[in-house]
Amino acid sequence: MKKNKIMYWIATGLLCLLFFAGAMMYILNYPRAEGFFISLGFPTWIIYPLAILKILGVLTLLTKKSNFLKELAYSGFLFDAILALAAHIMVNDGEYVPAFISIVLLTISWIYDRKVYGNYRQSVTISKI
């Protein structure tokens, strides 16, 4: 059990660090982020909302106040990472590694979250008994 918790917190910590750093780059270095988004073919108006959602997702994963919001954060991060990976591969700019790493960390975090804390359905079923 201790090994599972260590794996969960390492993967989740690195995942949160990666997404938080991305959000901070969007906010603090907007011209660079704008250049990335333009080169990938994405609209630039989405940069600030995406940064805010990344920060909220990180807070949700770290606080674990709501299972529904936690699952929503995991799915949002997965969609973001898959779209980033696909976009970087399509434009062939060689910047796909962070997206790939985030998918790996996300998968590990999600799997070990279930091993350590159980999933939502199990906790609801146990509480009804």
| pTM, rounded to two decimals | 0.85
CA proximity to 15, closest of 125, 107, 92, 96: 107
What's the rounded Cα separation, in Å, for the pair 39 and 58?
26
Torsion of CA 23, 13, 117, 119, to 10 degrees: 40
Q: Which long-range contacts (CB under 8 A, 24 or more apart) does 42-48 make?
A: 42/87
pLDDT in tens, 76-89: 999 999 999 999 99
pLDDT in tens, 29-39: 999 999 989 98
